[in-house]
Amino acid sequence: MNRWMQPSASVRVAAQVATWAVALLMAAPFAWMVSTSLKSDAEAIGRDLNWIPAGPASEWQWGNYAAAWEQADLGRFYLNSVIVALVVTAVSLVHNALAGFAFAKLRFRGRSALFLVLLATMMLPFQVYFIFAYVICDVLGYIDTLHALIVPFLASAFGIFYMRQSIQSVPESVIEAGRIDGFTDFEVFWHIVLPSVRPALGALAIFTFMWSWNNFFWPLIVIDSGERYTLPLGVAALASGLFVQSWPVQMAAATIITVPTILVFLLFQRWFVAGLALTGVKG
Amino acid sequence: MSAGNSNRAWWFIAFPLAIVFLFTALPTVVGIGLSFFEWGAATEARSIGFENYRALLQDDQQFWRALRNTLIFAVATVPVTLLLAFLFASAVNAPWFRGRTVVRTLFFVPTVVSIVAVGFIWQWILDPQAGVLNHLLQSIGVDRMFGRDLPQWTGESAWSLAAVSFIQVWRTLGFSLVLYLAALSSVPRSLYDAASVDGAGSWQSLWRIAWPSVWPMTIFLITTGTIAALQVFDLVWIMTGGAERRWMDVLNVHLYREFSNNRMGYAAAIGVIVLLLTAIVTLAQLRWMLSRGEVRL
Amino acid sequence: MRRSHWIILVIGIATIACVVPPRLMDRDDARLRFVVWGMPFEDRLFEDVYAREFEALHPGVVVQYEKYVDVADKYFAWHTIGTGADVMRVRITDYHGLVARGVLTPLDEFIEHPDPEIGLSAERQADFLPAVWDPLEVDGARYALPSDNAQYGLYYNKAIFDAYNAAHREDQLEYPHADWTWDDLREAAEKLTIVDERGRVTQYGIDFFLWAWPFMAFFEQAGGELWDEEGTTTLIDSPAGVEALQLIVDLLPHAVSARSPEQVETATGPDKLFATGQTAMLLDGSWRAPFLELTNSDLDFAIAPLPRGKRPGVVSGSVVWAISAHSRNKEMAWRMIRWMTDFEQALRYWDMLRVAPPASRRVIESEEFRATSGLVGDGGEVIIPAMPREKWKECGEWLLYGIRLHPMTGEAPAFVPVAPYQADLEDKIGTMLSRAVAPTRSQSLEDLLREAADAVHAIIDRDRRARGLSVVDRE
């Protein structure tokens, strides 16, 4: 019997238990977040360690959610986040794919050099360029509008790189066949290449959406007025500007912004994971 | 493929490249140039040569602390995350493992969640007064180990760096795990079979077969992990509110603080240093990848 | 083939739609940008009252109300790109920095204006509290009008004192009052601290946030001077500094609760602990009172002036109104800040928000000052509790101590620390305090003070070098 397949029972059990324990540890803080959000102030600060808030479910502090929603105007922030994330994802997907296709399958002068430069920009730390990116956005009149959250992300070095790596694996023969049939480059791209890299597209779409949804610092810099806050900004504002601070209410706000992210992830996890695998293996 | 593609190709890449260059590459170049100037609100930009760098390296004690903290942070988080991810991925990958999808999902959840939420949640857990962690430690009597008072996990103590490192590992373990899973699943069964014929036990198979097979992934993770650690900002910022801490300041927080105080040229200089560190790590990986033929240009 | 052209067209249009910049708002000449920071309910005063009523008084003027958390950063950033707010709410700690960088408009031509509707009479100028009015003068010019003067005080939990006195017949503690000294404070703090058998503190004798204010108050009371005459060398590393720091360390042997400055408004900070009845005495600002009443209406507390050291001293702050140097509506902006600082509007500030007394002597000494209406929400919920007249003695009278001349010094104890680099100094003091009270501290207090001073000097020298000035010669 292959010993790799069947280590001794004690090893199996130990590995199983340990892994499950750590997996639960990953999720525990979130459970604690939800638990706290339903407690009262006094109960939360008190010294007892209860996962379940005191009393029957009807007496839990559901009001904390209403408070968090109202105080932070979360409805509007949700809307802003959704608009920005959707637009960025949709448009950047197209442009990243276009460029990725060009780098992968089209020959043009300076292709290697440009690609290297692109790779290099992927490694640039945000902190070295955000100052001037802000100035550019200001010159273009984007500051304090949703444009500032959208335009700089309509394409990205990572996205182009990712699509290029995925498209590279589309067999040349298929593309040649398309050309022989008289397709233009764009048609090869749209009708042949795109369908064959659907998983990668899906993964990139999800990455981009989540990334845009959770983006915190760029919005912090470019958005001034509360009306255009995205969700993370709104929740952070709840913490810093508020008079009456209450951990349960804050946890309720944290729950409100976390739960949708987790739900989306659960829905699309297969694509997510598949997409990640593509990145890694190709390096 | 016809060589006349050149012009048409430009249509494909013009807009995306313009965006990337306008908002990333160009500001970087300007930012680097900015580090040789003194520029703040209302003062004209004055060229001062290397003065910013000199002040940074000679006078700025906090900079060295931040550098030290950042490096410690990188060293503390990257290897630990990798090894743990590899071990757990190996377990999950094994055919006898029950609940693979659920475990994988659970591991990955911290990675997808917003950093703001993560910051909140952990601040709450680590709160010295009312947080769960200290309650737990007190109730099992561990607090005596620390002397009179439990450490200020988010305050002015060396433990705060440990706390932030722990949170980072917690956050990124899932990401590495999923990647390792993918890499492990493509290791051919035949390798294991051959090893077991030679009498290798499961532990040895792990280290002699699986580990070397996923070496490219390991390199990838080391690189991305180190770069992420060098550029860490969000997490530390949320936990400290940007305050100057001896043990929890990292380079990018120091930079942002200088920026907020309108010492833009100075801040840009710090940014350049982060950039240099990142470049070193990246070049190392690139060199390795090119030599192995992993990337074709 | 046609289909692909359509697709390209759609992509092109979508992209262009994203990129086209939004129409810039028309620069309405009669538009005033009114920029503040504050707690959420303060909108009710600034926006609902001040902004709207000013518009009603001046038809054609539109007041655009904007609120941010980090206004100082915004002011600097806007100034750099050539724009600015018309009416700016400014913390006095940031004031000098803004003036030094030319962000604010000098107001003297408005103050001295012959038209009585525009200029400020000598009487009105004298009405501003000297502690706030004097520091606003920089090189002979004035760049702001004071809005308020928030003082630091000693909150105390009467029930805890009563309980102690009931249990210790032979050793009575009196309630804190204006003649308390440091020794009284130390004694009460020690006696009122309760530690259980496991060594955990269940009742704090005294507590306060760890930021520059308590240090500056004690430092002043020990006879110290924060800055030298030029304002480029800090003198905190002096015997007075050691005394002040020592007092803080003595008062906070169980420093877990005392929070670092950045986490000033937390959910388990000294204010919350005091509100839930776990602390006997709390050093905090006048703005805390409504919060305490809201959090725990059963809390039986009162406020006394700060005790004195060698001399009396009440650290206080101020918020001022200023006008951006790049404002295009300076005169209208001036009219607004002039209006907001007159007797009626200043009184409303106190009457509604009760966070800090206005910087007007007339208002503070008036009868109307002794009771406030507070703020009630639309649904009838109390946003800011009212202060009925009966509570004046316990919760309001202490404010007079700071502004009246003290027999010992002949001056009013309240002071507002200002200097060109005050914000940096306060920042370093905050860090120093965290280190001073840490149980694992290995450095001496003198060393910590010197380190903080050196750090501030490094910043000052760096700034001076960058502006082409010489480095300061310090001994």
Dihedral sign (CA A141, A147, A148, A152): negative
- Tokens coding B283: 């070049």
Asked if C267 has any chain A CB less than 8 Å from its own CB, the reply is yes
Fold entry, domain C151-316+398-466: D-Maltodextrin-Binding Protein; domain 2 (3.40.190)
Q: Which residues contact C257 (CB under 8 A, 6 or more apart)?
A: B129, C201, C204, C207, C268, C269, C270, C273, C279
The two structure tokens encoding residue B157: 């103590």
**Over residues B130-159, mean pLDDT:** 67
**Burial letters A25-37, b for 16+ CB under 10 A, else e:** ebeebbebbbbbb
Report CB contact under 8 Å: B15, A16. no
Considering only A45-49, A152-156, C364-368, C463-467, which range has the smallest mean pLDDT?
A45-49
Q: Do C175 and C398 contact (CB within 8 A), yes or no?
A: no
For chain B, domains (ranges, CATH) are: 22-59+262-297 (no CATH), 66-246 (1.10.3720.10)
The percentage of chain C sitting over the pLDDT mark of 90, rounded to a whole number, equals: 40
Compute the average pLDDT of residues A131-160. 87
| B88 at interface of A, judged by CB pairs closer than 8 A | yes
How far is the CA of A159 from the CAs of A39, A71, A94, B20, in angstroms? 43, 37, 10, 11
Nearest CA in chain A to C83: A138
Of residues A47 and B3, the one with the higher pLDDT is A47
Compute the residue count for chain A. Answer: 283
Give the mean model confidence (pLDDT) for residues C441-446: 88
Q: What are the start-end ranges of the H helices in A123-197?
A: 126-139, 147-150, 157-168, 172-180, 185-187, 194-196
Q: What is the pLDDT of residues C150-207, one digit of tens each?
A: 999 999 999 999 999 999 988 889 999 989 999 999 999 999 998 877 667 788 899 9
Residues of C within 8 A of B246 (CB-CB) are 435
pLDDT confidence tier of residue A254, bands split at 50, 70 and 90:
confident
User: C87 — phi, psi (to 5°)?
Assistant: -115, 120
Question: In this structure, are strands C375-376 and C382-384 parallel, antiparallel, or unpaired?
Answer: antiparallel
Q: How many residue pairs from chains B and C have C-beta atoms closer than 8 A? A: 87
Which helix (H) or strand (E) covers residue C147, if one does? strand C144-157
Task: Render pLDDT for C59-110 as a digit per residue (tens, 0 to 9).
Answer: 888 888 888 777 887 787 777 666 788 999 999 988 988 888 788 999 999 9
* C164 contacts: CB under 8 Å, gap ≥ 6: C173, C191, C192
Q: How many contacts, defined by CB atoms under 8 Å, are there between A and B?
A: 316
Contact B103 A23 (CB under 8 A): yes
Assess contact for C295 and C272: CB atoms under 8 A.
yes
Q: Are C260 and B123 in contact (CB under 8 A)?
A: no
What are the chain B neighbours of A132 within 8 Å (beta carbons)? Answer: 26-27, 30-31, 34
Q: Where are the domains of chain A?
A: 68-282
Chain-chain contact of B40 with C427 (C-beta, under 8 angstroms): no
| pLDDT band for position A241 (cuts 50, 70, 90) | very low
Interatomic CA distance for residues C5 and B282, integer angstroms? 41
Whether A85 and A209 have beta carbons less than 8 Å apart is answered as yes
Which amino acid does the sequence have at C86?
D
Burial class (CB in 10 A: 0-12, 13-18, 19+), C24: exposed
Is the per-residue pLDDT at C29 higher than 90? no
- Where does residue A141 fall: left (phi above 0), alpha (psi -120 to 50 degrees), or beta otherwise? left
Q: Token digits for A281?
A: 């293996």
Q: Is B11 on the interface with C (CB under 8 A)?
A: no
Q: If contacts are CB pairs under 8 Å, which of residues 38-77 in chain B contact chain A?
A: none
Nearest to A141 among C1, C4, C21 (CB): C21
Q: What is the pLDDT of residues C255-282, one digit of tens each?
A: 554 454 444 444 567 888 888 888 999 9
Q: Which residues in chain A have their CB less than 8 angstroms from residue B17's CB?
A: 99, 114, 118, 155
Nearest-by-CA chain C residue for A41: C267
**Residues of chain A whose C-beta is under 8 A from some C-beta in C?**
41-42, 45, 71, 87, 90-91, 94-95, 135, 138, 140-142, 145, 147, 150-151, 154, 184, 186-187, 190-191, 224-226, 237, 240-247, 250
Rounded CA separation C399/B217 (Å):
67
Check A138 against C81: CB less than 8 A apart.
yes
Q: What is the pLDDT of residue C257?
A: 47
| pLDDT recorded at residue C265 | 46
Mean pLDDT of chain B, nearest integer: 79
What's the full length of chain B, in residues? 297
Q: How far is the CA of B128 from the CAs of A238, B121, B154, B166, C283, in angstroms?
A: 21, 14, 8, 17, 21
Residue of A189, A243, A249, A251 for testing the chain C interface, max C β-carbons within 10 Å: A243
Q: pLDDT (tens digit, 9 = 90+) per residue, B20-32?
A: 999 999 998 988 8
Residue in the block written with tokens 């919920």: C381
Query: What is the pLDDT of chain A when averaged over all its residues?
Result: 81
* CATH architecture, range C31-150+317-391: 3-Layer(aba) Sandwich (3.40)
Give the model's pLDDT for residue A225: 66
- In chain A, the residue whose alpha carbon lies closest to the alpha carbon of C65 is A225
CA distance C136 to C143: 7
In a mutational test of the B interface, the residue from A6, A117, A128, A186 whose CB has the highest number of chain B CBs within 10 Å is A128
Which chain C residues are closer than 8 Å to A142 by Cβ? 21-22
Angle (deg, nearest 10), helices B264-292 and B215-230: 180
Shortest CA distance to C421 belongs to which of A221, B56, B262?
B262
Asked which of B127-131, B272-276, C143-147 is least confident by mean pLDDT, the reply is B127-131
Q: What is the pLDDT of residues C383-408, one digit of tens each?
A: 888 998 888 999 989 999 988 889 88
Maximum C-alpha span of chain C = 102
Per CATH, C31-150+317-391 and C151-316+398-466 having the same topology is answered yes
Residue A242 near residue C40 (C-beta atoms within 8 A): yes
Would you call C254 an interface residue with chain A, using a CB distance cutoff of 8 Å?
A: no
Least confident span in B103-117, B124-138, C382-396? B124-138
Sign of the torsion formed by the C-alpha atoms of B31, B34, B38 and B42: negative
Q: Are A16 and B279 an interchain contact pair (Cβ–Cβ within 8 Å)? A: no
Task: Return the residue of C nearest to B38 by Cα.
Answer: C466
B-chain CB neighbours of C458 within 8 Å are 59-60
Residue C322 sits at φ, ψ, to 5 deg, of -135, 175
* Cβ-defined contact of A277 to B132 (cutoff 8 Å): no
From chain C, the residues in CB contact with B155 under 8 A are 260, 434
| Number of neighbouring beta carbons within 10 Å of residue C195 | 12
> In sequence order, which residues have a C-beta less than 8 Å from that of residue C388 and are 6 or more positions away?
C371
Task: Return the number of other C-beta atoms located less than 10 Å from residue C441's C-beta.
Answer: 16
**pLDDT higher than 50, residue A67:** yes
Residue B234 has pLDDT above 90, yes or no: no
Q: Where are the beta strands (DSSP E) in C23-113?
A: 31-36, 62-67, 87-91
**C338 CB burial (10 A radius; 0-12, 13-18, 19+):** buried
pTM: 0.69
pLDDT (0 to 100) of residue B156: 64
Return the structure tokens found at B266.
């100075």
Query: What's the complex ipTM?
Result: 0.80
First to last CA, chain A: 35
Q: In the block, which residue shows the tokens 């360390």? A: C249
Binned at pLDDT 50, 70 and 90, residue A244 comes out as very low
Residue with tokens 């801490």: B245
Which residue ranges make up each domain of chain C?
A: 31-150+317-391, 151-316+398-466
Burial class for A20, CB neighbours closer than 10 Å (0-12, 13-18, 19+): middle
Kindly list the distances between the CA atom of residue B78 and the CA atoms of A238, B168, B172, B184, B286, in Å, as whole numbers in the listed order: 33, 9, 9, 19, 18
Q: Amino acid letter at B288?
A: W
| CB within 8 Å: B200 and A3 | yes
Task: List, for residues A158-185, the tens digit of each pLDDT value.
Answer: 899 888 888 888 888 888 888 888 888 8
Confidence at residue C151, expressed as pLDDT on a 0 to 100 scale: 93
CATH of A68-282 given 1.10.357.10, 3.40.50.970, 1.10.3720.10, 1.10.287.610:
1.10.3720.10
Instruction: Locate B167 and state its tokens.
Output: 């949170």
Q: What is the pLDDT of residue C27?
A: 47
Q: Please report which confidence band the pLDDT of residue A74 belongs to, taking 50, 70 and 90 as the band edges.
A: confident
User: Pairing between strand C279-285 and C31-36?
Assistant: unpaired
Q: Which of C54, C116, C115 is nearest to C321 (CA)?
A: C54
What type of residue sits at position B131?
A: G
Q: Report the share of chain B in percent with pLDDT over 70.
A: 80
A151 within 8 A of A142, measured Cβ to Cβ: yes
Residue of C nearest to B62 (CA): C455
Report residue C378 as tokens. 């639309």
Cβ of C103 within 8 Å of Cβ of B149? The answer is no
The CA distance from A152 to A99, in Å, is 16
Give the model's confidence band at A271: pLDDT under 50 very low, under 70 low, under 90 confident, else very high. confident
Residues of B in contact with C260 (CB under 8 A): 155-156, 243
What's the DSSP call for residue C44?
Answer: I
What number of other Cβ atoms are within 10 A of residue A103's Cβ? 25
Q: Look at A61-70, A94-103, C188-197 and tell me which has the smallest mean pLDDT.
A: A61-70
The closest of A147, A86, A84, A156 to A118, measured between CA atoms, is A156
